[in-house]
Structure 1
Amino acid sequence: MQSPFDRRIAACQRRLERADADLVVCFPSPNLTYLTGFEESPSERHLLLFVPDTGDPALVAPAMYEDQLSELPIADLRLRCWTDADDPLETAENVLTGYSLGGTEPATVLVDDRLWATFTQDLRELLPDAEFGLASSVLEPLRIRKDDVELAALRRAGELADRISLEIRTRGDDLVGMTESELASEIDRLLVAAGGEEPAFETIVAAGPNGARPHHHGGSREIEAGEPIVLDFGAFVDADLEAGTGRYPGDQTRTIVVGEPPAEYERVHDTVKEAQQAAIDAIEPGVTAGSVDRAARAVIEDAGYGDAFVHRTGHGVGLEVHEPPYIVAGNDRELEPGMVFSVEPGVYLEGQFGVRIEDLVAVTEDGAERLNDTPRGWETGC
């Protein structure tokens, strides 16, 4: 039985053939994790995955990883390890000479979009006549549509964020007097205690006027009664794979108030909530990402807050917290079943407060599935 990684490599090879390209080269990055299930940080050591349009993929790696890499669930993967006494370029060259690249024409090599310049130069030295492009041209269309394993992981990440969101709401008056950083740390603790691997990004707690800064970094400011609190958080969870890894994040935002909110707050909150619903109602296969942004933005503009909606409506989510598709004006990318992205309109009133409401959604055959299901109102203590 093929593993998910066998299927992904095979799909990559089919894309290479259609693109008339010969080879994809990845190094430690989400692309490598997607194709192999191996996750590692980039370093100065040569760790390169070669996927040809035809033939077996090969992984050139330091010998220290041999035990880990030999367990990867990829049937035809050729593992080529080098020691510190070896020249890794010789190992890579031996792999490349085993492929029929380009035939009578110069080879077309697609390198990981984040490949360090030093490794790109090494490949140019080994393949001086090759034409180079970016791996995203074949991998993005694969990664942008989540398979069943990925969707299951993203649903679990959404459920985890939901549990913590509800827990924070029930604390009500206990939130008053906490600093933003104290509450952020408590959210992080709860996310891990509930089964998350680690926070997927720096948790945002932005109280009062700090809420008018969409990516505020929490500090020593104490939360006061009656002021809006923007809470944006999520955690990574592991996908249910036989072997290898794949961590997928939650990402949810709610804006709550302990006590009575400012005079204009309820109108702003209702506007943002309506805008989010309008965007989700607009989602279905075939519509463009830009049209979803337009649906949210129109509601906010009609309410007179257009200038206070200062960011895109959403971003794709997968192995990375931010990835395609981007739900932004002018993006003509048509939505397809299996795409997952955030829908997070916001209104930010400088010196007063901000409101953002965010859920992750998956595009279905006829609409959208919300991956978050907690109250979107502002009341606490319930």
Structure 2
Amino acid sequence: MTTSNSASGPYAQRIEAAKRRLRDGAGDAIVLFPSNNLLYTTGFDESPGERHLFLVIPADGDPVFFAPALYETQLREETTVADLRTWTDSDDPADRLRTLLAELDLRDGHLLVDDEMWALFTQDLREAAPEATFGLASEVLADLRVRKDEAELDAMRRAADVADAVVDDLRALGDDAIGMSETALAEYVEDRLEAHGGSGVSFATIVGAGPNGAKPHYHHGETEIQPGEPVVLDFGTRVDGYPSDQTRTLVFGDEPDDTVREVHDLVREAQHAGVDAVEPGVTAADVDRAAREVIEDAGYGDEFIHRTGHGVGLDVHEEPFIVAGNDRDLEPGMVFSVEPGIYLPDEFGVRIEDLVVVTEDGCERLNTTDRGWKTAGPN
């Protein structure tokens, strides 16, 4: 990520916001592990490993990194956290952790532990703080992460631009896609994501041709693209750690039959209705209902078999979830997908997905490419 690591930068501000929520009664400290929560609060991006590496954010006092000594230079250069407590491979990290928690007066506190922390390290925390009670870091951080700041939105707009450019590339393929395998087309998508400035993929690319498109979480295989057959293409990349997530259902070669046209038009109408419903103060369930009613009224309600959308941030699936029963009010800065679909088993599927940002008076679509099925020109 490229945002500032200064003491007044976004990471320091996020830590301070977390501490305020702790002081408001959420707990005595947050204990993070290599994860997107750690990335969000410090900018430090590391995969979990066998060594104990924690960030302790107490309600009062400065945050502390508890880390292997081999990370010290990295942490000092890449984060604003000044208090580093390091241990070497000749130390007993569990014993050092016990000493640190005692020093911070947390051995009998209420600790909010990273939701993704491995059981091994959670157990060591419990043994180091035997009188403590435990909750999840998401009790504080999820509500902070759900509203994106300008640095996050800038990264997500750029990631969406990359996905849009690849949709244009796919349309330009036209008849050249006929006979390609789903896997070959997925590899083409991933190559173009990199070519347009993306960093890897944000999730496993989906290319579902014909009947495979009726499986919402199908990935891809050796099925060949056939003329006139709908192909569900769901993909994304990352820019500065933040993802894009876009779905288009395209038809290569011949024109589709009337049923495909009907279903595609219906899904496009439902997607528009869902996006049109987005504004501050409406609920996540309201958006789901706006999209779902279009499909139900046309008699395909039983074929729309998933929620209308999900929040997107450092995690591709996070709050808010756009689903019936979620009465959370939408707020400016929230980012989520609107992706209704209709799935006809053994025949075909259609899904259309864009990411939107809730604004002060409505929403901004992050994806702007045409949502029709044609692979040559607008429709």
- Normalization by structure 1: what TM-score? 0.95
Task: Show the counterpart of 1:322.
Answer: 317
Shift of 1:55: 0.3
SS in 2 for 1:219: coil
SS in 2 for 1:81: strand
Q: 1:285 aligns with which of 258, 271, 280?
A: 280
Task: Show the counterpart of 1:44.
Answer: 50
State whether residues 160 and 366 of structure 2, in contact with CA within 8 Å, keep that contact through their aligned partners in structure 1: yes
Shift of 1:331: 0.8
Dislocated runs of 4+, deviation >4 Å: none
State whether residues 342 and 349 of structure 2, in contact with CA within 8 Å, keep that contact through their aligned partners in structure 1: yes
Shift of 1:20: 4.4
State whether residues 173 and 381 of structure 1, in contact with CA within 8 Å, keep that contact through their aligned partners in structure 2: no
Shift of 1:337: 0.6
Letter matched to residue 14 of structure 1: R
What's the CA shift string for 1:313-355, capped at 9, x where partnerless?
A: 0011000111111111111111111000000000011111110
Identical counterparts, % of pairs: 60
Q: Which runs of 5+ in 2 are unaligned?
A: 1-6
Shift of 1:77: 2.9
Distance in 1 (alpha carbons) for counterparts of 2:189 and 2:78: 34
Q: RMSD of the alignment, in Å?
A: 1.2
Distance in 1 (alpha carbons) for counterparts of 2:293 and 2:361: 23
Q: Which runs of 5+ in 1 are unaligned?
A: 239-246
SS in 1 for 2:78: coil
Distance in 1 (alpha carbons) for counterparts of 2:351 and 2:100: 51
Q: 2:100 aligns with which of 87, 90, 95?
A: 95
Task: Show the counterpart of 2:268.
Answer: 273
Q: Does 1:72 align with 2:78?
A: yes
User: Aligned residue pairs: how many?
Assistant: 370
Task: Show the counterpart of 1:82.
Answer: 87
Shift of 1:101: 3.8
Shift of 1:228: 0.4
Shift of 1:3: 1.7
What's the CA shift string for 1:350-376, capped at 9, x where partnerless?
A: 111110000000011111100000000
Task: Show the counterpart of 1:192.
Answer: 194
Q: Does 1:255 align with 2:249?
A: yes
What's the CA shift string for 1:225-266, capped at 9, x where partnerless?
A: 00001111110111xxxxxxxx00111000111221022111
What's the CA shift string for 1:30-52, capped at 9, x where partnerless?
A: 11111111111112210011000
Distance in 2 (alpha carbons) for counterparts of 1:21 and 1:204: 41
Letter matched to residue 110 of structure 1: L
State whether residues 106 and 129 of structure 2, in contact with CA within 8 Å, keep that contact through their aligned partners in structure 1: no
Shift of 1:107: 1.3
State whether residues 186 and 207 of structure 2, in contact with CA within 8 Å, keep that contact through their aligned partners in structure 1: yes
State whether residues 158 and 250 of structure 1, in contact with CA within 8 Å, keep that contact through their aligned partners in structure 2: yes
State whether residues 95 and 128 of structure 2, in contact with CA within 8 Å, keep that contact through their aligned partners in structure 1: no
Q: 1:142 aligns with which of 122, 128, 144?
A: 144
Shift of 1:381: 2.3
Q: Does 1:61 align with 2:67?
A: yes
- Normalization by structure 2: what TM-score? 0.95
Task: Show the counterpart of 2:156.
Answer: 154
What's the CA shift string for 1:252-302, capped at 9, x where partnerless?
A: 000111221022111111110111111111111111111111111100000
Q: 1:122 aligns with which of 105, 120, 124?
A: 124
| Greater relative contact order (Cα < 8 A, sep 6+) | 1
What's the CA shift string for 1:56-98, capped at 9, x where partnerless?
A: 1001111221221111331x53111111101112332332233
Distance in 1 (alpha carbons) for counterparts of 2:32 and 2:79: 18
Task: Show the counterpart of 2:3.
Answer: none
State whether residues 307 and 322 of structure 2, in contact with CA within 8 Å, keep that contact through their aligned partners in structure 1: yes
